[in-house]
Amino acid sequence: MNTSIFDIDCQLDYQLAGPCDFLFQIHALQGLGQQVLEESLEFTPPVGARVYADPAVGHRFTRLQAGPGPLTLRYRAQVQCVLAQRDINAPEMPIAELPDEVMHNLMPTRYCESDLLSRAAQKLFGGLPRGYARVQAIADWIYNNVDYQIGTSVATTTACDVFRQRVGVCRDFSHLAVTFCRALNIPARLVVGYSRFDEPPPDFHAVFEAWLGGQWVMFDATRMAPVDEMVRIAMGRDAKDVAFATIFGPAVMTSMNPLIQPAR
Amino acid sequence: MNTSIFDIDCQLDYQLAGPCDFLFQIHALQGLGQQVLEESLEFTPPVGARVYADPAVGHRFTRLQAGPGPLTLRYRAQVQCVLAQRDINAPEMPIAELPDEVMHNLMPTRYCESDLLSRAAQKLFGGLPRGYARVQAIADWIYNNVDYQIGTSVATTTACDVFRQRVGVCRDFSHLAVTFCRALNIPARLVVGYSRFDEPPPDFHAVFEAWLGGQWVMFDATRMAPVDEMVRIAMGRDAKDVAFATIFGPAVMTSMNPLIQPAR
Amino acid sequence: MNTSIFDIDCQLDYQLAGPCDFLFQIHALQGLGQQVLEESLEFTPPVGARVYADPAVGHRFTRLQAGPGPLTLRYRAQVQCVLAQRDINAPEMPIAELPDEVMHNLMPTRYCESDLLSRAAQKLFGGLPRGYARVQAIADWIYNNVDYQIGTSVATTTACDVFRQRVGVCRDFSHLAVTFCRALNIPARLVVGYSRFDEPPPDFHAVFEAWLGGQWVMFDATRMAPVDEMVRIAMGRDAKDVAFATIFGPAVMTSMNPLIQPAR
Amino acid sequence: MNTSIFDIDCQLDYQLAGPCDFLFQIHALQGLGQQVLEESLEFTPPVGARVYADPAVGHRFTRLQAGPGPLTLRYRAQVQCVLAQRDINAPEMPIAELPDEVMHNLMPTRYCESDLLSRAAQKLFGGLPRGYARVQAIADWIYNNVDYQIGTSVATTTACDVFRQRVGVCRDFSHLAVTFCRALNIPARLVVGYSRFDEPPPDFHAVFEAWLGGQWVMFDATRMAPVDEMVRIAMGRDAKDVAFATIFGPAVMTSMNPLIQPAR
């Protein structure tokens, strides 16, 4: 069994103009082939934080209050990942064979309006053989038809916007892929995690998973990082579910540096 | 303790041009002050169906395959409801005091783009005293500024559309209310159920709930039916979560008749 | 020189719940290879109407007030058309060589948001050889990628909507074509007129023209009627400029029948 | 008769990565109470440019080709303006009494989707007494309900976006006002010109005009500059018609400084 070990050192700096509530998702996922060997989470100045896990998927949230003033989060971890075998012949599953808890991954969400792109998805991919290869074709189409360009999308950019404007970043690519999958009745979800990009700036990565052959299979429409070398943080219906930081209050992020590298 | 008993007799008729998968949400909720005294669910022609409950909220789904040909669902139930006391002084809760499982009801969803209406919500309701009265003011504003008119919205109509076009039906009213609440950091969700309208055609009803004083409180921006006399089916983030029927395949609904009346 | 003669018999019926102002564009264009041999315009009941021509393009408007009550417009004409030679090698013109009065046909309009589809247009058609063949490729792409289906678009449907939903009627096809052309710096406009469809219901037709080789060249992305056999009514930036009827007041159209046939 | 004289000194700097075509609208309008006493237009490096006037409204366009390399436009003028009398009792005109050439100012355009906001306009302003005071109420509503904030809107922001997001700059304010007017059957158009703002950065100004009492009457929903002290450049259906620079090619504006001050 092929495994890798990664060192994560993630630092986020904020300036708070007043009291703020934070909901972070920065912990490496425990499970699904990942084992967190050690980890630490520090805040400067120190604040009390509560960590809890999503009951369905298991990713961890951190809630806290802070401010006014500066706030730095530093999360360090060593994580061992089992490299998943990819079954490139995995079939799409009939609706009737989808587990109950997977069904909601067929529904449109804030960023993934699969109801609005159903005919487009059918026209582009409806005639292809079903299964792993069709989802790969979706990822390939996005890679070939959408430009990766920092600064071209905003917090409100949805899959329909990306389909029209043909430009975006990793989360936009993944939202569009999720949307096409759902429009074809393939359950799909967003995955965020730590990943090594070749290009700056350092950022979290977003890829997607499709339900094939009775399990979740990861794809990356950006081709920016090997899916094998990503440490998962969370999975969700779209980026709203898995934001690394949801903030209530007057906070400004002044720097982010979610580093990951192979353990020495 | 004030209780009422209702008889439900709900019939849905479909014509299926081929095999279809159905996901129904038509069972009266068991719990939250509702007690299902007796119930039956029949399909004509008979089909095997599986009923399961949402692990978080408890509402029930029915999954089945059918077709081609006609399909009729008939659900009958007698339900006893405890009339909830309304605390019209219930406060809004600070973010820090929201239960973990309620947090996701602050997020924008497919039909409730609270991120896009945050400034509008602040301008309309940001200056009002916080608490029950502010949510009531939201419901009142919608009642006074949006026309109720059958046929003016479609399956893809969102809260932003309703805010702009100022016309819709019950689910549109509720989506806009949910959206305003979330934009003000008040957790909110959609509730669907059986309700007696004064106006035809017979249909399911959609209202909304806001998290006030540590519990969910129901409001109806349409003022079409007393919230006391609604039998709940399901609660969800928006209408995509709580559709009475999600269909995969070539089905056409030929009639619907979700009747409810006080038990004799 | 190849000419054809057509008989037009167009009847529009309205029911007016109160006084209404009408702005019709139903007269066959005089000029651009069309000669109106004879024509008549009658209203029942009789109303005073004023006919004036657009100073730039020359198409004719009819303004009148009527109602309450029924109103019928009947326009009959015999029109001789010179069949334009098509130069399938016509080049696209450099911006610097476009006449001043053509420049505005490069701008986005209500239904043709060419600014929003510029990257998509570049990706789809930017690499093709420039000229007539590229505009033909646009018309072909739309024919091959958008379904023609009555009732799938509404009065507010724009080119961006059509690009996303991949379905529409003749004006939608033409709006999308106009939009792609403008996004590629090819001046383009909508043309409406009388045309023989194979399919019901009887309706006006909308096609588009691109500025190639120093003149307007007509294309029809729907392939529903020969462009040679269309009698022009008007040309404009989009359907808002060339609506056959713009109505101010409570009028309902009860039937329309814009007939055209070869003169016997 | 009350007149003022203004000195304009407008400089625009561009960096061109290749050959570009420009369409400028920077000349002060000659007419409508404005008299251009003297003016000059220089390009550095010198380029040949052609100036022509819009046949309908009379504003002037400048077309030229330039690049690669830097390009500076400098326009200087002295303009005498007659201060228009404002008739605050001017009535709205019935549709039947609108001049033919004004009719198109009732139509929705790229940035002014009056068809989408008609019910909202009716609800907000439909019950007010008609005439000058109603248009003033529109301007006041926008001033009171939309925040002026640089950097909150982009080149594609429309009146519907502004209505929803409740923030924008002068052109956004004016687009929304134009949209409300048209939705109420009041012809309206955008006006751009040189104006003294109190706030940086220096920029052109956009206001709007409504057709009242048989003439165009100017309003400024931003209240940022006295309408009396604006030197008009152009009037159009929306900002696409009256952009100070429409560029075809790889140009970047590096600075703009459209200065205006009372003549000494």
* Average pLDDT of the residues of chain A: 95
Measured CA to CA in angstroms, residue C239 lies from A10, B4, B188, C180, C245 at distances of 54, 57, 41, 16, 11
Count the neighbouring beta carbons within 10 Å of the beta carbon of residue C227: 19
Q: What is the pLDDT of residue C2?
A: 85
Is residue B123 less than 8 Å (CB to CB) from chain D?
A: yes
Q: Are residues A191 and A162 located together in one domain of the fold?
A: yes
Asked if A238 has any chain B CB less than 8 Å from its own CB, the reply is no
D140: three-class secondary structure by DSSP: helix
Convert the pLDDT of each residue in A223-252 to its tens digit.
Answer: 998 888 899 999 999 999 999 999 999 999
| B66/B123 same-domain check | no
The separation between CA D194 and the C-alpha centre of its own chain, rounded to angstroms, equals 9
**Range A8-29 average pLDDT:** 98
Given a contact cutoff of 8 angstroms between Cβ atoms, the answer to whether A242 and A235 are in contact is: yes
A169 and A256 housed in the same domain: no
Predicted confidence (pLDDT) at residue A25 exceeds the cutoff of 80: yes
Give the C-alpha separation, B59 to C221, whole Å: 49
Query: Are residues C122 and C156 part of one domain?
Result: yes
Asked if residue A110 is part of any domain, the answer here is yes
Task: Read off the amino acid at residue B224.
Answer: M
C106 and C231 together in one domain: yes
Is any Cβ of chain A less than 8 angstroms from the Cβ of B110?
Answer: yes
Is beta strand A167-168 parallel, antiparallel or unpaired with respect to A147-148?
A: parallel
What pLDDT, on a 0 to 100 scale, did the predictor assign at position B225? 84
Residues B6, A42: Cα–Cα separation, whole Å: 55
Q: Which of C165, C176, C179 to mutate to test the interface with A (most CBs of A within 10 A)?
A: C165
Q: Is B115 on the interface with A (CB under 8 A)?
A: yes
Nearest-Cα distance to chain B for A53, in Å, is: 9
Residues A210 and A112 in one domain: yes
Chain A residues in contact with B246 by the CB 8 A cut-off are: 107
User: In the predicted model, is pLDDT for residue A1 greater than 90?
Assistant: no
Question: Does residue A100 sit at the B interface (CB-CB below 8 Å)?
Answer: yes
C 129-148 near A (Cβ less than 8 A): 145, 147
pLDDT at res. C226: 84
C-alpha gyration radius of chain D? 18
> Which of the other chains make 3 or more beta carbon contacts under 8 angstroms with chain B?
A, D
Average pLDDT of the residues in B19-28 = 98
pLDDT digits (tens, 9 = 90+) for B29-71: 999 889 999 999 999 999 999 999 998 889 999 999 998 999 9
Q: Determine whether the interchain pair C115/D52 forms a contact, defined as Cβ–Cβ distance below 8 Å.
A: no
Q: pLDDT class for B200, splitting at 50, 70, 90? A: confident
What are the CB-based long-range contacts (under 8 Å, 24+) for B104-107?
B104/A241, B104/B237, B105/B182, B105/B187, B105/B188, B105/B189, B105/B211, B105/B237, B106/B182, B106/B185, B106/B187, B107/A110, B107/A240, B107/A241, B107/A246, B107/B182, B107/B237
Taking an 8 Å cut-off on Cβ atoms, the answer to whether B108 and A104 are in contact is no
Cα angle for residues B4, B5, B11 (degrees, 5° grid): 135
pLDDT tens for each residue of A151-175: 999 999 999 999 999 999 999 999 9
Chain B residues within an 8 Å CB radius of D119: 147, 165-167
Between A199 and C259, name the one with better pLDDT. Answer: C259
Tell me whether the omega of the peptide bond preceding residue B46 falls within 30 degrees of 0, making it cis. Answer: no
Is residue D89 assigned to a domain?
no
CATH value at residue A57: 2.60.40.2250
Q: Do C240 and D107 touch (CB under 8 A)?
A: yes
- pLDDT the model gives residue A201: 80
How far apart, in whole angstroms, are the C-alpha atoms of residue C103 and residue C126? Answer: 20
**D165/B116 CB distance under 8 A:** yes
Position C187 in a domain: yes
Residues 6 or more apart in contact with residue A99 via CB below 8 angstroms = none
Contacts of A95 in chain B (CB under 8 A): 21, 65, 248
Is the residue at A149 inside a domain? yes
Chain C residue closest in CA terms to A159: C164
Report, as an integer, the average pLDDT of A90-94.
98
Taking contacts as CB-CB distances below 8 angstroms, the residues of chain A near C166 are 119-120, 123
Looking at the structure, do residues B164 and B248 belong to the same domain, yes or no?
no
Predicted local distance difference test score (pLDDT) of residue D197: 74
Q: Are B253 and B14 in contact (CB under 8 A)?
A: yes
pLDDT tens column, A100-150: 999 999 999 999 999 999 999 999 999 999 999 999 999 999 999 999 999
* A137 Cβ neighbours under 8 A, 6+ residues apart: A125, A128
Q: Which residues of C touch A119 (CB under 8 A)?
A: 147, 165-167
A167 vs C: CB within 8 A: yes
**Higher-confidence position of B84 and D36:** D36
Query: Which CATH number fits the domain that encloses residue C216?
Result: 3.10.620.30
Which among D47, D63, D109, D113 is the top mutation candidate for probing chain C, defined by the most C β-carbons within 10 Å of its own β-carbon? D109
Between D116, D119, D166, which is nearest B123 by CB? D166
Count CB atoms within 10 A of the CB of residue A72.
Answer: 14
Same domain, D76 and D112: no
**Cα D126 to Cα D120: distance, rounded to the nearest angstrom:** 9
pLDDT of residue C75 exceeding 70:
yes
> What are the two backbone dihedrals, phi and then psi, of residue A103, each rounded to the nearest 5 degrees?
-50, -40
Do A164 and C164 lie within an 8 Å CB cutoff? yes
Chain A closest-CA separation from residue B112 CA (Å): 8
- Flag whether residue D163 sits within 8 Å of chain B, measured between CB atoms: yes
- pLDDT, tens digit only, all 264 positions of chain D: 689 999 999 999 999 999 999 999 999 999 988 999 999 999 999 999 999 999 888 999 999 999 899 999 999 999 999 987 889 999 999 999 999 999 999 999 999 999 999 999 999 999 999 999 999 999 999 999 999 999 999 999 999 999 999 999 999 999 999 999 999 999 999 999 999 876 678 899 999 999 999 999 999 999 998 888 899 999 999 999 999 999 999 999 999 999 999 998
Is residue B63 included in any domain, yes or no?
yes
Q: Round to the nearest angstrom and report the end-to-end CA distance of chain C.
A: 20
pLDDT of C225: 84
Residue A118 CB neighbour total at 10 angstroms: 20
- CA D94 to CA C65: how far, in whole Å? 11
- The reply to whether residue C165 touches residue A120, judged by beta carbons under 8 angstroms, is yes
Closest approach of D202 to chain C, Cα-based (Å): 26
Angle at D54 between CA D50 and CA D59, to 5 degrees: 85
The angle subtended at Cα C211 by Cα C92 and Cα C204, nearest 5°, is 140
Structure tokens at C165: 């939903």
Q: H or E stretch including D38?
A: strand D34-44
Cβ neighbours of A165 in C, within 8 Å: 116, 119-120
User: Given pLDDT bands bounded at 50, 70 and 90, which one contains residue B223?
Assistant: very high
**Chain D nearest CA to B177, separation (Å):** 15
Q: Cβ of C101: how many Cβ atoms within 10 Å?
A: 12
Q: In this predicted structure, what is the pLDDT of residue D134?
A: 98
Chain center to CA of A115: 21
Q: Angle at CA C218, nearest 5°, toward C214 and C224?
A: 170
Closest-CA residue of chain A to B158? A110
Residue A123, φ and ψ in degrees, nearest 5: -70, -35
Among residues B201, B151, B145, B199, which one has the least CA distance to residue B173? B145
Question: Which subunits have 3 or more CB–CB pairs within 8 Å of chain C?
Answer: A, D
Contact between chains at B166 and D116 (C-beta distance less than 8 A): no
**Which pLDDT score is estimated for D47?**
96
Q: Which of A117, A145, A166 sits opposite C164 (nearest CB)?
A: A117
User: Do B39 and B67 share a structural domain?
Assistant: yes
Q: How many CA atoms lie within 13 A of A224 on its CB side?
A: 26
The residue type of A118 is S
Which of B117, B145, B164 faces D116 most closely, judged by CB atoms? B164
Strand, helix or coil for residue D238: coil
What pLDDT was estimated at residue B198? Answer: 67
Across chain B, mean pLDDT equals 95
Residue B113 in any domain: the answer is: yes
Contacts of A19 (CB under 8 A, 6+ apart): A65, A66, A67, A68, A249
Percent of chain B scoring above 90 in pLDDT: 90
Residue type, A151: G
Do C214 and C206 contact (CB within 8 A), yes or no? no
Residue keyed to tokens 């569009």: A176
Average pLDDT, chain C: 95
What is the full DSSP assignment across chain C? Answer: --EEEEEEEEEEEEEESS-EEEEE--SPPSBTTEEEEEEEEEEES---EEEEE-TTT--EEEEEEE-SEEEEEEEEEEEEEEPPPP-TTPPBPPGGGS-GGGGGGGS-BTTB-TTTSHHHHHHHHTTSPSSHHHHHHHHHHHHHHSEE-TTS--TT--HHHHHHH-EE-HHHHHHHHHHHHHHTT--EEEEEEE---SSSSP--EEEEEEEETTEEEEE-TT--S-GGGPEEEEEESSTTTS-SEEEESSEEEEEEEEEEEE--
The answer to whether residue B176 neighbours chain D at the CB level (below 8 Å) is no
Q: Report chain B residues whose CB lies below 8 A from the CB of D117.
A: 164
d(CA A71, CA B61): 44
Domain of residue B52, residue span: 3-83+244-262
What residues in A contact C145, CB-CB < 8 Å? 123
Q: How many domains does chain B have?
A: 2
Q: Are residues B178 and B212 in the same domain?
A: yes
Contact call for residues C81 and C33 (beta carbons, < 8 A): yes
pLDDT at B79 > cutoff 80: yes
State how far residue D164 is from chain B, nearest Cα, in angstroms.
6
Q: Is B147 found in the same domain as B165?
A: yes
CB contact under 8 A, D120 and B167: no
Among A165, A167, A172, A179, the strongest candidate for a mutation testing the C interface, having the largest count of C CBs within 10 A, is: A165
Max intra-chain CA distance, chain B: 57
Same-domain check for residues A170 and A41: no
pLDDT classification of C164: cutoffs 50, 70, 90: very high
D240/C156 touch (CB, cutoff 8 Å), yes or no: no
Give dist(CA D167, CA D150) in Å, integer: 9
Q: Is the Cβ pair A123, C166 closer than 8 Å?
A: yes
* Cβ contacts from C onto D, under 8 A: 63
Which structure tokens are listed for B20? 């279809």
Kindly state whether residue D88 falls inside one of the protein's structural domains.
Answer: no
Q: Would the CB atoms of B240 and A103 count as touching at under 8 Å?
A: no
- Reference D71, options D27, D21, D28, D25; nearest CA is D21
Percent of chain A predicted with pLDDT > 70: 99
Average the pLDDT over each of B108-122, B190-204, C145-159, D108-122 and give the range with the smallest value: B190-204
Residue B162 has phi, psi (to 5 degrees) of -65, -40
Note whether residue B89 is domain-resident.
no
**Three-state secondary structure string covering chain A:** CCEEEEEEEEEEEEEECCCEEEEECCCCCCECCEEEEEEEEEEECCCCEEEEECCCCCCEEEEEEECCEEEEEEEEEEEEEECCCCCCCCCECCHHHCCHHHHHHHCCECCECCCCCHHHHHHHHCCCCCCHHHHHHHHHHHHHHCEECCCCCCCCCCHHHHHHHCEECHHHHHHHHHHHHHHCCCCEEEEEEECCCCCCCCCCEEEEEEEECCEEEEECCCCCCCHHHCEEEEEECCCCCCCCEEEECCEEEEEEEEEEEECC
Q: Pick from C25, C57, C100 the residue to mutate for testing the D interface (most D CBs within 10 Å).
A: C100
| CA-based nearest residue in chain D for residue B122 | D166
Query: Given a cut of 90, is residue B196 above it in pLDDT?
Result: no
* pLDDT at site D198: 67
How is B97-131 classified by DSSP, letter by letter? GS-GGGGGGGS-BTTB-TTTSHHHHHHHHTTSPSS
Q: Is the pLDDT of residue C162 over 70?
A: yes
Whether B162 has a pLDDT exceeding 70, the answer reads: yes
Chain A residues in contact with B59 (beta carbon < 8 A): none
The residue in chain D having the minimum alpha-carbon distance to the alpha carbon of residue C236 is D104
Mean pLDDT of B144-161: 96
| Model confidence pLDDT, tens digit, residues C14-43 | 999 999 999 999 999 999 889 999 999 999
